[in-house]
């Protein structure tokens, strides 16, 4: 374990070296730490990586090209890259109980692309795959994608709709996933907001997808992956789970049995940040039969892997294997439930009426606001959230009718259930004191709003006082 002095010295020294070359960059880095320390961060997809994880990214591994896989590189001199990639994969396999781990993806969308193409390459005989590889994806027109889908047999994917809590990469038409596949979405029950597994099974029987995708970015309940696998098996589909948002809850053994995707899915993708608390990046876990195709992610989808980020992944995954990470994961959920209960007591409307995981969705139409208005008003008061669609959202994906809130970051800072009730009061105060604005012609605006600056200042001060008791990166002093 490093000493506080060692961590402060490391970051101060790094900034001094940067400052000598480009002081504005050093200033921006220091300002970012200051801003994060002062922000009441409730963005469900953000967290705070450890000093060890952050420091693992700033090193000589950044200088290496390492296309290929461990022991099979297209460049010489990659023995040290082999070491950190193998360590990251080993920690991932042990942490999640996976047969195979591929740690090269640069992001969640990269991980999903690796998974999609691995399944296509494994199950579909098509010369079009090689043709597509020869062209840059940005050069492919809609007609090209249509021709490619036809040559691939017009393969189908069934995934969760965006407004129900799914992700852009689960078949949203403007996203590459929606161009690769003949895609259909399943939603949630209009009354409860919950997944109706009978309806998913019905859609699968009718549509007969090659890939059934589960996972979410804005669904506040657990998913029964055993049932989803049974649905996939019933139609001969490959079952894929995107656990980017809740990987930390799986690693921390909060989600087990039917709610742990790894034993049930053929292939699982994730990011390594969010609730897993690592560096920004992606990862693929899979059954043995897909391992060979997954390991061809480079050059099929990826360029050169980022060895410095793989080193940081190894560090973060090692941290997640420690007993204290399981306690952290439990506290994430306890905090999310306490925050949701605090909001409900104050009259807020939540999608599905609460949460079983790390996030909740506030339907802000109960405050006569759009998501965009609520997001900006909360930001004025020092509370960082993001607007999000609700099921059958009348305001669409840009303005939205919801606010997504999550607890991984604040839990990392040490805040507990008592503080969550205080935060619920701050959120409710802002939303209940914000009024929708009007356009110049008198029509209602979906973006303009009015919040008394005195209210915003008061809430911001209260948020700052709350955070003062839970310093961020207390072992790092840049002064």
pLDDT at 366: 95
Distance set, CA 337 to CA 236, 342, 356, 417, 463 (Å) = 37, 8, 7, 8, 20
Active site residue 242: yes
**Domains along the chain?**
60-155+234-320 (3.40.640.10), 323-468 (3.90.1150.10)
Q: Compute the distance between CA of residue 229 and CA of residue 356 in angstroms, rounded to an integer.
A: 21
8 Å CB contact between 294 and 100: yes
8 Å CB contact between 303 and 297: no
Catalytic residue among 19, 280, 346, 448: 280
pLDDT at 130: 54
pLDDT at 121: 81
Q: Residues for the chain: how many in total?
A: 479
Q: What is the largest CA-CA distance in the chain?
A: 67
Q: Compute the distance between CA of residue 474 and CA of residue 194 in angstroms, rounded to an integer.
A: 40
Buried (b) or exposed (e) across 142-181, using 16+ Cβ within 10 A? eebbeebbeebeebbbbbbbbbbbbbbbbbbeebbbbbbb
With tokens 């961590």, the residue in question is: 7
Active site residue 341: no
Question: Splitting the chain (479 residues) into consecutive groups of 10 residues, what average pLDDT does each group show?
Answer: 80 96 97 95 96 96 93 92 97 98 95 92 62 55 71 80 81 74 91 95 96 95 98 96 97 98 98 96 96 89 92 98 97 98 97 97 97 97 95 92 97 97 98 94 92 97 96 94
Catalytic residue among 46, 85, 242, 363: 242
Q: Compute the distance between CA of residue 213 and CA of residue 156 in angstroms, rounded to an integer.
A: 11
pLDDT at 434: 97
8 Å CB contact between 196 and 219: no
Active site residue 349: no
Select from 47, 120, 109, 434 the least CA-distant residue to 296. 120
pLDDT at 172: 73
Active site residue 179: no
Q: Compute the distance between CA of residue 344 and CA of residue 122 in angstroms, rounded to an integer.
A: 47
Chain Cα centroid distance, residue 392: 22
pLDDT at 139: 64
Active site residue 448: no
| Cα angle 141, 145, 150; round to 5 | 145
8 Å CB contact between 152 and 126: yes
pLDDT at 120: 86
pLDDT at 15: 96
Active site residue 191: no
Catalytic residue among 271, 385, 411, 434: 271
Catalytic residue among 37, 65, 83, 258: 65
- pLDDT tens across 256-265, in order? 999 999 999 9
pLDDT at 155: 85
Catalytic residue among 73, 149, 229, 274: 274
pLDDT at 162: 83
């Amino acid at each position: 374990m490093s000493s506080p002095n060692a961590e402060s010295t490391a970051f101060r020294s790094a900034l001094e070296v940067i400052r000598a070359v480009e002081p504005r960059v050093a200033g921006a880095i220091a300002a970012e730490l200051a801003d994060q320390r002062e922000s009441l961060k409730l963005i469900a997809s953000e967290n705070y990586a450890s000093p060890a994880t952050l420091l693992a990214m700033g090193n000589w591994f950044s200088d290496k090209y390492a296309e290929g896989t461990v022991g099979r590189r297209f460049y010489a001199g990659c023995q040290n890259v082999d070491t950190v990639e193998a360590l990251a994969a080993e920690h991932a396999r042990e942490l999640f109980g996976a047969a195979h781990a591929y740690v090269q993806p640069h992001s969640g969308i990269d991980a999903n692309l690796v998974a999609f193409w691995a399944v296509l390459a494994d199950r579909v005989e098509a010369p079009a795959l090689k043709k597509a590889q020869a062209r840059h994806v940005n050069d492919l027109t809609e007609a090209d994608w249509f021709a490619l889908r036809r040559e691939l047999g017009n393969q189908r994917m069934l995934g969760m709709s965006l407004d129900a809590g799914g992700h852009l990469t689960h078949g949203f038409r403007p996203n590459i996933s929606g161009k690769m596949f003949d895609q259909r979405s399943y939603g949630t029950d209009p009354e409860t907001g919950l997944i109706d597994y009978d309806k998913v099974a019905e859609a699968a029987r009718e549509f007969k997808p090659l890939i059934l995708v589960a996972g979410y970015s804005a669904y506040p309940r657990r998913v029964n992956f055993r049932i989803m696998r049974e649905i996939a098996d019933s139609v001969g589909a490959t079952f894929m789970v995107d656990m980017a948002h809740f990987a930390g809850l799986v690693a921390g053994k909060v989600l087990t049995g039917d709610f742990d995707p790894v034993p049930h899915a053929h292939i699982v993708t994730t990011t390594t940040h969010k609730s897993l608390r690592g560096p920004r990046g992606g990862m693929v876990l899979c059954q043995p039969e897909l391992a060979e195709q997954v390991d061809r992610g480079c050059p099929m989808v990826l360029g050169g892997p980022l060895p410095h980020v793989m080193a940081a992944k190894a560090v973060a995954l090692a941290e997640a294997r420690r007993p204290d990470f399981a306690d952290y994961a439990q506290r994430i959920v306890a905090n999310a439930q306490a925050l949701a209960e605090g909001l409900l007591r104050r009259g807020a409307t939540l999608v599905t009426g609460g949460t079983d995981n790390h996030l909740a969705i506030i339907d802000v139409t109960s405050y006569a606001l759009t998501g965009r208005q609520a997001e900006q008003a909360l930001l004025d008061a020092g509370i960082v959230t993001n607007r999000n669609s609700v099921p059958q959202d009348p305001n669409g994906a840009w303005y939205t009718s919801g606010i997504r809130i999550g607890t991984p970051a604040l839990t990392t800072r040490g805040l507990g259930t008592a503080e969550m009730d205080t935060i619920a009061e701050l959120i409710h105060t802002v939303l209940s004191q914000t009024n929708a604005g009007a356009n110049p012609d008198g029509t209602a605006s979906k973006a303009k709003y009015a919040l008394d600056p005195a209210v915003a200042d008061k809430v911001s001060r209260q948020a700052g006082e709350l955070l003062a008791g839970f310093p961020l990166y207390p072992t790092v002093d840049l002064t």
